[in-house]
Structure 1
Amino acid sequence: MKTTPLELHQMRSALTQAYQGLIDESDLQRNSKQERERAFLSRAVAATAIRRVTGWELRRCAEAVIDGSDDNGIDAVAVRDGAQVWLVQAKWSDRGTAGFHTDAARAFIDGLRLLENRQFDTFNRKLQPFTALLDSALGDPNLKIHLIIALAGNDPLSSHAAAILDRASDEHHGHGPMLSYSLMNTPELLQQLREDRMPDPVNITVRMPKWLRRDLPFTSYQGSLWARDVAEIYELHGSTLFSKNIRQSLGLTRINVGIEKTLTEEPENFWYFNNGITILCDRIEPFYPGRRNPDYPVELKLTHATVVNGAQTVTSIHRAMQETPETVADADVAVRVIALGDDYAGYVYRIAETTNTQNDVYRRDFISLDEKQALIREDLDLTLGKTYVYKRGEAEPVPDSGCSVVQAAVALACAYRSPELAVRAKRDTELLWEAGAQGAYQRLFGEVPSAFRIWRCVQIQREAGKALNALRGRLEGRTLATAQHGDMLITHLVFQLLDLMEIDELEFPIESVLETIPELVGSILSWLIYRVNVNYGSTSFLMSTFTNEARCRELAQMVLEDVRSRVPLPQLHDEHVASARPRHRRPPTVPTLVNAHVVKDGTPLTYVPSNALEMVATQEWLAADERRYQARWQNHRTRPLLWSYDGLAYSVSGLVIRIWELSGWAKAPVAVQGPMRWVVNGDRTLHELAVEWLATQEADEE
């Protein structure tokens, strides 16, 4: 069976990212570019097969590749535990149809015989590092040789090739099953490549001075830990501790600041004031340094551990320990440890849902437990090299490098065949996480959308947003308010007017599609203004119109027919077009946003340079630590930004200047328009949000 184009694309991308620069290509310099690429990918497949069976690190697997002239049908070699030998023959196909035929099988067995006869000098120089190990292993009475056929394809071995391998296996069974062979094709290779991109499982050891144990239905321990031990665990493992939590650390929220205050000012009361930590794991191995008695300490070795409740407590303890370690160290932290074993999937959601009460918990937090979201993240990473974050508290990627689940859900809602989901997104994005058959979440993510669909929908939605922002600069009054309140419906109509039948295909022409959007947005807006005024009156309330599913359904049907008819566009009335009369000075951005509470406390923001010079000057320093371009909003009039990098509060422009200073930008401007550089939820800048809010107020006054 042929490997699908998507699987082939994912494999090519992952192999290149994993082994570029590690695999020896010095013998390929005279080959054409296409030949070099095919040879590299074939060698990378061989290295992946070695990693699959040995668990070695990538560099060591790359060094195991001996493919080239005089490889005698063997592409990679590994020797482990003195007497375990793996020999790999690998095949890559640009069409995903790599096969293993009789000639390849004979060459493989001939190469094996040369090794058994110690004819190492018949092989190329790449075998030399392994000759001593091979010589020793081949003389070991416990020798086991494993032949691995690694193919970028899904076809089974042909009967003729299998017969050759079976005969060789029979010949080697005189003193027991010494020789075996196996096929490793696309699914198994892709699985290994996916696993390589996942964080390593977390194994930790915790010490409880006093404890209680329960054995049914799960082995569990309840007790307390010293705050210093909790901080040390976080220091070692960081946010990987929270891989199964419904959210990451939320940073400096009001609740978390309160946790730190208790630790630093009343550490003796922390056990009473804090809900504690819940840790789930696969297995618990207890060790009793003294008596096996609850009044004596126990050390618990936890395999595949994750904090499902208490992420905010853990990170707050870590921060407090850095500030006043002598005060915080001996604070008691309540802890529960539960070993779920094979029942993990069935209980993790229920435990996480019922124990998360310390900070506000939203429906969005619980979708992080949906395996579909992990699959989407994996698909976007493997297919497109894009970052996808779906837990509240995770640093949002800069727009070009990925998106969040909120941005993906809004884009998919706008792309939905009818407008009701776009209307819900306009009302409140929390409505997109409603479960059940009629809930938005099932309709958006029930059948897992492909990486191509998600990313391209996000691109289209962003392009429509840019086009609307460009139009807003020359509109005012009711027309401007329509562009503001009707943005989700307009974006929905853009999706309906585009030909997206092949959006899931590798070759979909996304760039040419994006080029058509600005003109399309202008046409839709003109017709939408006309239809709203004609059907509902020129004094109708726009906010209620664009959050009413029935009205939006009617408007969508009419505007789609209007745009498709290609009749001349209706002219906008003069009173809706920006005039040249003097405008009042716009109020400052930050006070405007704070007064209106446009941005919620804790909302993540991303610093985005506004020009090429600024980008070049700051990108290297920013890239070294993602916290450097991330901040969180607090509704404070002078210092509304809490910088993720140092936890301190800054003014909007002051933090930009601080970033410039630390980046070493010697020729940075003296003045800076900070609100234009901080992007909220990967969508609009603080400046744009303030302008839009002021425009709606002006429209309401008129």
Structure 2
Amino acid sequence: MSQDFFEYHIETMKEKYPTFGKYQNYHIFTLLCIKYFFYSESGISFDQDVIEEFLTDGANDGGIDAIFNDPTSEGNDLIIVQSKFYENTALGTDNVAGELYKINETLKKLQSNKISEFNDKLVTAYRNATSQMEDNANIRIVFFTSYQPKNKRERNKLDKSMRDYFGKYDLEMNFRSDIEAQIELCDNGKLCVDYDKIAIDDKNNYLKYEDSIIVNISALSLQELQNRRRNGLLGMNLRYYVRQKAVDTGIEKTIHKEPENFWYKNNGILIICDDYELMEKK
């Protein structure tokens, strides 16, 4: 797929939500990502008038393009969005570090009510979202870009540079292939993801059976995977995934509150893939 994929969906957004026609394409790219990553589940309404209030992109935005609460999270997590709508421009670690530094400084000032240098949209969106956070809510930085790393090595380097710099908050990176996969899943029912990774306790701590392995995975890594992949994560469940709020909430609660009991309570997780690789932590 190419940039044409996003341009098609941006034009579709303009047709479906007429008020979005006043925005630039890079604004609508942000709205597109919000829709498919946070407002694609059944029963969650994507109200264009409400969603518009999430946008903060513009002069004096502190490096933040949108702020809102995750409607799928248990505690109304605060979502901070930064998006980059381009394909060919290189996305280097310096670019990443600069953006993250700016967002980090902005959050410090907003939390201290030092708001004079920021636009009204940013301040209002931040105050509205923080007022709806519950005690167990997290602050999550979500990065969307239409850029696609050249290979896994470049992707891992970018991912690591962001996480190392921004350890205070949960951080999610979504590149072009991730966004395309999420849109395909929501629109066409694609039930798999092309590539991702999870952390295990020790590279050599595994049991091998034919082409399969049994490992202990990090509960935090699983949580981050769920945040990144959302609808697609359980799509190939061998029993078929049936949404039940009580079950979903119970699983999420165990991940967040009792990760040490996840194996006991949920009897493990089966992951089916074409291929896998065990990598040493660098």
TM-score after normalising by structure 2: 0.51
CA contact (8 A) 2:87 2:148 kept: no
**Counterpart amino acid of 1:79?**
N
For structure 1, the residue ranges without an aligned partner over 5 or more in a row are 1-5, 27-39, 173-178, 200-280, 286-702
Task: Give the superposition deviation at 1:137.
Answer: 5.1
CA RMSD, Structure 1 to Structure 2 (Å): 3.5
For the pair 1:148 / 2:137, whether they are aligned, the reply is no
**1:86/1:131 CA distance change after superposition, 3 Å:** closer
Q: For residues 71 and 283 of structure 1, what CA distance do their matches in structure 2 show?
A: 40
- Cα distance in 2 for residues equivalent to 1:72 and 1:151: 18
Give 2:6's aligned residue: 11
Note the C-alpha offset of 1:194.
3.4
Distance 1:167 1:137 in 2: 27
**Aligned position for 2:28:** 44
Shift of 1:83: 4.0
- CA distance, structure 2, for counterparts of residue 76 and residue 132 of structure 1: 13
Partner of residue 220, structure 1: none
When residues 122 and 97 of structure 1 are mapped into structure 2, their CA distance, relative to the original with a 3 A threshold, is same
Larger radius of gyration: 1
Structure 1 residue 12: deviation in Å?
1.3
Whether the 8 Å contact between 1:98 and 1:152 is mirrored in structure 2 is no
Taking the aligned partners of 1:128 and 1:24, their CA distance within structure 2 comes to 24
Distance 1:61 1:111 in 2: 22
- Residue 87 (str. 1) matches residue 80 (str. 2): yes
Does the CA-based 8 Å contact 2:67-2:126 persist in structure 1? no
Size of the alignment, in residue pairs? 177
Contact 1:23/1:65, CA 8 A, preserved across alignment = no
Aligned residue runs from structure 1 range 621-700, under 5 A: none
Q: State the distance in 1 between where 2:8 and 2:130 align.
A: 37
Is the CA contact 2:54–2:67 (under 8 Å) kept in the aligned structure 1? Answer: yes
Secondary structure at the aligned position of 2:79 is classed as: strand
Change (3 A) 1:63 1:24: farther
Q: Mapping of 1:479-498 within 5 angstroms?
A: none
Q: Residue type of the partner of 1:57?
A: F
Change (3 A) 1:82 1:118: farther
8 Å CA contact retained: 2:69, 2:78: yes
1:77–1:158 CA distance, 2 compared to 1 (3 A): same
* Residue type at the aligned position of 1:107: K
**Partners of 1:142 and 1:189 in 2: how far apart?**
28
Change (3 A) 1:72 1:7: same
Write the distance in 1 (CA, Å) between the matches of 2:91 and 2:14.
20
Tell whether the 8 Å contact from 2:97 to 2:161 is kept in structure 1 after alignment: no
Q: TM-score, normalised by structure 1?
A: 0.22
**Equivalent residue number for residue 73 of structure 1:** 63
C-alpha distance 132-284 of structure 1, shift in aligned 2 (>3 A): closer
* Among 177, 180, 199, the residue aligned to 1:187: 177
Aligned match of 2:102: 107
Q: What's the CA shift for 1:188?
A: 2.0
Unaligned stretches of 5+ residues in structure 2: 40-44, 190-239, 245-282
CA distance in 2, matches of 1:166, 1:284: 35
Distance 1:119 1:9 in 2: 41
Match of 1:54 among 38, 52, 66: 38
Q: Which amino acid is the alignment partner of residue 69 of structure 1?
A: A
Confirm or deny: 8 A CA contact 2:56 2:125 kept in the other structure: no
Q: 1:104: Cα distance to partner?
A: 1.7
**2:35 is matched by which residue type in structure 1?**
R
Alignment match, 1:168: 166
What amino acid is the match of 1:116? Q
**Counterpart code for 1:85:** L
Distance 1:23 1:107, change over 3 A: farther
**CA pair 161-54 structure 1, distance change in 2 beyond 3 A:** closer
Please tell me the residue identity of whatever aligns with 1:153: Y
Offset of residue 122 of structure 1: 3.4
